[in-house]
Amino acid sequence: MTLDDCRALDAQDKLAALRAQFTLPAGVIYLDGNSLGVLPKAAPARIAEVVAKEWGEGLIRSWNTAGWFDLPQRLGDKVARLIGAAPGEVVCTDSTSINLYKVLFSALSQQLPTNRRVVVSERSNFPTDLYIAESMCRERGFTLKLIEASELPAVLTEEVAVLMLTHVNYRTGAMHDMKAITAAAHAAGVITVWDLAHSAGAVPVALNDCNADYAIGCGYKYLNGGPGAPAFAWVHARHADKFVQPLSGWWGHAAPFEFTPNYRPASGIARYLCGTQPIVALAGLECGLDTMLAAEAHGGMAALRTKSLALTDLFIQLVEERCAGHGLSLVTPREHADRGSQVCLSRGEGAYAIVQALIARGVIGDYRAGDEQMPDILRFGFTPLYLGFEDVWNSVEHLRQVLETAEWQRAEFNAKNAVT
């Protein structure tokens, strides 16, 4: 595999034209779209329009004339197309953590009539997901049990109420088999809550086909919605009208404009709304969603997935060929079925410094610290909407040079001795 081979792959790539939808800084190879997505070209003008026209001129009238009230549902319908959900099943609102609180509360409420009082999650799940679950379990008389993925499905005993998993692991890039795990959970009487933060827009997701129960996800990673963009929540239709969530604000009321003193939840997913949403941020999110939906004309998520796997395969192959002997280990699963859209490497030492040296060269990935049980991680996200095969070649070439020239050790030395 050579640079010319990579360029040839780019020339044949029917998705390559999608990159033109984005503004990317010169000199940057951006491998951190799993942390913060890039700027859609349409976003500055659309956001400026919302600010100057809808807010500045329309003022309060824009709640109706500009359709502000419908934004969580209208954008939710766009997200639905990316995660195998139906129109009317998704809302875009609040943060991922807050949406997790809502759906986990509802899932636990379903199990209150049973004796099941354990919530199972992975020890390596997003810390913020574990923090939310920890507080709620303590408050509602449940126990949070943290496991390794290898303990599934054996751990799903008759004590387990909810299995709360992130579909693609943020540290390792490992992906769960949502359909098989959901089936195993249901067979054991367990309700599933899926975090799609590293899945929506990254890998095909088929919530209804998997018969999942609850899902939440992030707007600012693969969906390119902008920093801190609102998140989303999905609830299977069979549960949606049966339980309430406790953040019972007026946007989730059956008749918000009657201003009645008693709460009456809206039917369906609308009851997962709470307070007034940041309209300008929702406008940015819509621009990001539209860049994803533009791929539908080119094969959609299936085509993006094929390219994503080709990019991550290539990255793994080139690292193993060209960076051999430098102590890097592959953390992400090699099997396609087990891999998300990122590649994570570990190294006995220097992971942080290597990432910093790469960033100094314009190759932006990130670092996640390990602990006694998990190694330090160099994390590289591959977003097929705007990355090509030459980008992969160049990023590995930078990594090779950083390792071979010991540039990372100098970077580490400088960091340690910096006057801060």
Residues 366-405 that bind a second copy (CB under 8 A): 366, 368-369, 371
In sequence order, the 6+-apart residues with CB closer than 8 A to the CB of 30 are: 24, 38, 364, 383, 386, 387
CA of 128: how far to CAs of 13, 247, 338, in Å?
37, 18, 23
**Does the protein bind a second copy through residue 222 (CB under 8 A)?**
no
Question: Which position among 9, 19, 32, 195 is part of the footprint of a second copy (CB under 8 A)?
Answer: 32
Binding piece for a second copy, criterion CB under 8 A, among 270-278, 296-304, 307-315, 386-394? 270-278
DSSP 368: E
Question: Which position among 1, 146, 188, 310 is part of the footprint of a second copy (CB under 8 A)?
Answer: 146
Q: Is 126 a catalytic residue?
A: yes
Question: Which position among 205, 274, 331, 385 is part of the footprint of a second copy (CB under 8 A)?
Answer: 274
Residues 121-140 that bind a second copy (CB under 8 A): 123, 126-128, 130-132, 134-136, 139
Q: Is 221 a catalytic residue?
A: yes
Distance CA 309, CA 311 (A): 5
* Total chain residues near a second copy (CB under 8 A): 80
Distance CA 199, CA 169 (A): 9
**Does the protein bind a second copy through residue 67 (CB under 8 A)?**
no
The minimum distance between CB 362 and a second copy, in angstroms, equals 11
Binding piece for a second copy, criterion CB under 8 A, among 154-162, 248-256, 339-347, 394-402? 248-256
Nearer to a second copy, 30 or 142 (CB): 30
Q: Is 379 a catalytic residue?
A: yes
Distance CA 233, CA 252 (A): 13
Nearer to a second copy, 29 or 240 (CB): 29
Count of Cβ atoms closer than 10 Å to residue 279 Cβ: 18
H-helix or E-strand containing 346?
Answer: strand 342-346
Residues 278-337 that bind a second copy (CB under 8 A): 278-282, 284
Q: Are 292 and 224 in contact (CB under 8 A)?
A: yes
**Does the protein bind a second copy through residue 360 (CB under 8 A)?**
no
- According to DSSP, the β-strands at 377-381 and 342-346 are antiparallel
**Does the protein bind a second copy through residue 220 (CB under 8 A)?**
yes
Nearest in space to 220 (alpha carbons), one of 37, 17, 5: 37
Q: Is 129 annotated as a binding residue?
A: yes
Q: Is 383 annotated as a binding residue?
A: no
H-helix or E-strand containing 336?
Answer: none
Distance CA 273, CA 29 (A): 37
Q: Is 306 annotated as a binding residue?
A: no
**Does the protein bind a second copy through residue 409 (CB under 8 A)?**
no
Q: Are 342 and 34 in contact (CB under 8 A)?
A: yes
The set of catalytic residues is 126, 195, 220-221, 379
Binding residues for pyridoxal 5'-phosphate: 96-97, 126-129, 166, 195, 198, 220, 250, 276
